[in-house]
Amino acid sequence: MLKKLLVLLIIAAPVAGICAPGTKNKKDEPVVHLTDEQIYEELKKLAMVFEVARDNFVEEADEKKMLEGAMNGMLGALDPHSSYLSADDFKDFNDKSHGEFGGLGIQITSDRGAVRVIAPIDDTPAEKAGIKAGDYITHIDGEQVFDLTLNQATQKMKGRPGTKVKLKVVSEGQEPRDITLKRAIIKVKSVKYEDKKLAGDESENPEKIGYIRISDFGATTTKELKEAIDALEKKDVIGYVLDVRNNPGGYLTAAIDVSDAFLDGGEIVSTRGKGKADIERSFAKPGDRTNGKPIVVLINHGSASASEIVAGALQDNGRALVMGSQSFGKGSVQQQKPLGDGTAIHITIARYYTPSGRSIQNEGITPDIEVLHSKVEVLEKRESMYSEASFKNSLKNETAKKKADKKYKDDAEEKEELTDEEKDALDYQLQRGMDMVRAMAKLKTRVVVPVSVSAGEEMTTEGKGDKPAKDDNIRAENAEQGKGKK
């Protein structure tokens, strides 16, 4: 038994060795590598721990559970995103990536032993229950999550559609609250779109702004996005708001394709693996599907990974203004490494960098214009209590429509669900984004900057909004390292 276990662990060890390049030790200490002999001794010790625990534990030991726990612990020691996937986990992962899966509709990560919400998925039980990005889940059906792996926590939240699960959720600045959710089949349509007008624009021909919401980056996102842009272009929109708020990410290839749809050239993203020469760069192909119209990208603290790639690519190429709040800061790429028996390793294989050479890891994307989520409050009513009509014996307006039966909405009407238009009007970030698109469209993205070199001369920047090359040294280094690679 001992000999077989050693062989199994030695086979698994090199696979775990392809961990995230440049991943820092929590104390920023250099990694001390073991010799082959030392590795063998540690593996022998691990096998002894297994046998002693199995033989002496007070109850019947579940050997499979013990070994899976050991592998999960090994990978979890690397970073929060690496883990062992059992056959069921691997199948669930693939089902989810292809647009349909069962559960609550919530993207989570591990954070110091707790389960932290990256973002809820649109139109799912989690989103409808009010769970927000940044919330912590401390209990699932009354059981603390601190002793569970991320996969175990995920499995406990899954179940047959229609069944219920109780979560204890902690939001910043609030008391813990219990939320009971009903599980459902989660069908993810990652792209929604429509042409919108600014709130309060009652003109006869209001300007149309193309609104595209991407909730995650899955296998169908690229196709759905192209259909959305083609449909909005036929409606002659003046520009676009690309909303990736609370988008937890997804496939790297989908992020590259989405960026490419808005670019006419330039680098999109570079990924750097373990070796110095292990650099891959992705570039946009000619052809901007939006025909150069102004774009605003909306982000917030729930925008992670692939969302940050898109925001960073459009920002660094001067193609879009990024508005909202600081993004999540997940700048690493994961890949599934099948082990041949239906199981797999989900492991960090690279870091990604924006075109200017910025690493997003632990930092996130900084918006060009910070617009925090705010509550819109009406400070002035349409009809004031103090007006000509308030005076005693004031003359009546004979042509005015009778309002006796048309008072302001009664209490019952006030409680009715808001329409989509009313929700848009209350979305402060969206309204400011649409304001900016309209302004950019009116200016035709032309900026004139006076220069004091000589009287009467001026410098113009057109089209793609060139930025000062603050990162020329990084660009030069990146170009040298990635020479000949694409």
- Token pair recorded at residue 44: 């022998």
Q: Does one domain contain both 275 and 225?
A: yes
Token pair 């988008």 is found at 247
Residues in the chain: 486
Whether 51 and 57 have beta carbons less than 8 Å apart is answered as: no
* Domain endpoint, select from 129, 156, 187: 187
Total number of domains constituting the chain: 3
Are residues 233 and 314 both part of a single domain? yes
Instruction: List alpha helices for 317-427, DSSP H.
Output: 411-414, 420-426
- Residue 299 and residue 397: Cα distance in Å, rounded? 49
> Is residue 442 in a domain?
no
Residue 436 forms part of a structural domain: no
pLDDT score of 205 = 84
Same domain, 133 and 272: no
Residues 55 and 150 in one domain: no
271 within 8 A of 295, measured Cβ to Cβ? no
Inter-helix orientation angle 87-97/150-157, to 10°? 70
Helices (H), 235-383: 252-262, 306-316
Is 305 assigned a catalytic role?
yes
Residues 196 and 323 in one domain: yes
Tens-binned pLDDT, residue by residue, of the chain (486 aa): 444 443 333 333 333 333 333 444 444 678 889 999 999 999 999 999 999 999 999 999 999 999 999 999 999 899 988 999 988 888 877 766 665 667 898 888 877 777 989 888 888 899 999 999 889 999 999 998 887 878 788 888 988 888 999 999 999 888 999 999 999 987 778 899 999 988 777 788 889 999 999 998 988 999 999 999 999 999 999 999 999 999 989 899 999 999 999 999 999 999 999 888 889 999 999 999 999 999 999 999 999 999 999 999 999 999 999 999 999 999 998 889 999 999 999 999 999 999 999 999 999 999 999 998 876 565 554 454 455 655 555 666 665 554 444 444 444 444 456 777 888 888 899 999 999 999 999 887 444 444 433 333 333 333 333 443 333 333 333 444 444 444
The per-residue pLDDT for 413 is 45
* pLDDT value at residue 415: 41
55 and 79 co-located in one domain? yes
202-208's contacts with Cβ under 8 Å and 24+ in sequence apart are 207/238, 207/438, 207/441, 208/235, 208/236, 208/237, 208/238
Residue 126, judged by CB atoms within 10 A of its CB (0-12, 13-18, 19+), counts as: buried
Give the residue among 370, 245, 243, 252 at the shortest CA–CA distance from 305: 252
User: What is the C-alpha to C-alpha distance for residues 237 and 215, in angstroms, rounded to an integer?
Assistant: 22
Position 266, amino acid: G
Identify the residue whose tokens are 């390049």: 21
Residue 197's domain comprises: 191-329+364-373+474-481
Q: What is the CA radius of gyration of the chain?
A: 27
Do 43 and 183 belong to one domain?
no
pLDDT for 149 equals: 77
pLDDT per residue as tens digits for the range 152-205: 888 889 888 889 999 999 998 889 999 999 999 877 788 999 999 887 777 888
* CA triple 278-283-287, angle to 5 deg: 170
Residue 346 and residue 82 in contact, taking contact as beta carbons nearer than 8 Å: yes
The confidence score (pLDDT) of residue 421 equals 80
Q: What is the pLDDT of residue 120?
A: 87
* Residue 122 pLDDT: 83
CA distance 317 to 324: 19
- Residue 98: both structure tokens together: 């292809």
CA 79/CA 103 separation, integer angstroms? 25
Q: Which of 65, 87, 109 is the last residue of a domain?
A: 87
pLDDT digits (tens, 9 = 90+) for 427-454: 899 999 999 999 999 887 444 444 433 3
Domain CATH for 168: 2.30.42.10
Looking at residue 304, which CATH number applies to its domain?
3.90.226.10
Q: What is the pLDDT of residue 89?
A: 82
122 and 58 in a common domain: no
In a shared domain, residues 34 and 129:
no
Choose, from 305, 307, 325, 332, the residue flagged as catalytic. Answer: 305
Residue given tokens 């329409």 in the structure block: 419
Structure tokens at 21: 């390049």
Give the end of a domain, one of 187, 217, 240.
187
- The pLDDT score that the predictor gives to residue 457 is 37
Query: What's the half-sphere exposure (Cβ side, CA atoms, 13 Å) at 403?
Result: 9
* Pairing state between β 295-299 and 321-324: parallel
Verify that 168 and 64 share a domain, yes or no: no
Per the annotation, the verdict on 316 as an active-site residue is yes
428 in a structural domain: no
Residue 386 covered by a domain = no
The H or E element spanning position 139 is: strand 136-140
DSSP state, residue 28: -
Pick the catalytic residue from 168, 196, 293, 330: 330
pLDDT at 396: 67
Strand 106-111 vs strand 279-283: parallel, antiparallel, or unpaired?
unpaired
Q: Any idea what the Cα angle at residue 401 is, between residues 396 and 402, rounded to 5°?
A: 80
The secondary structure of 419-441 as a DSSP string is PHHHHHHH-HHHHHHHHHHHHHH
Residue with tokens 């990146």: 478
Closest CA to 257 of 305, 232, 223, 230: 223
Q: Are 363 and 409 contacting, i.e. CB atoms less than 8 angstroms apart? A: no
CA gap 83, 89 in Å, rounded: 10
Residue 324 within any structural domain of the chain: yes
**Do 216 and 136 fall within a single domain?**
no
- Give the three-state DSSP class for 183: coil
* Residue 14, H or E segment: helix 2-16
394 is a domain residue? no
* 156 in the same domain as 22: no
pLDDT of residue 106: 87
Q: Which amino acid is located at 460 in the chain?
A: T
Instruction: Tell whether 62 is covered by a domain.
Output: yes
Say if CB 99 and CB 91 are below 8 A apart.
no
Query: CA angle at residue 334 from 330 to 340, to 5 degrees?
Result: 160
pTM higher than the cut 0.95: no
Annotated catalytic residue, options 79, 216, 257, 316: 316
23: its two tokens: 């991943």
Residue 200 inside a domain? The answer is yes
Task: Please choose, from the candidates 152, 154, 181, the residue with its C-alpha nearest in 3D space to the C-alpha of residue 165.
Answer: 181
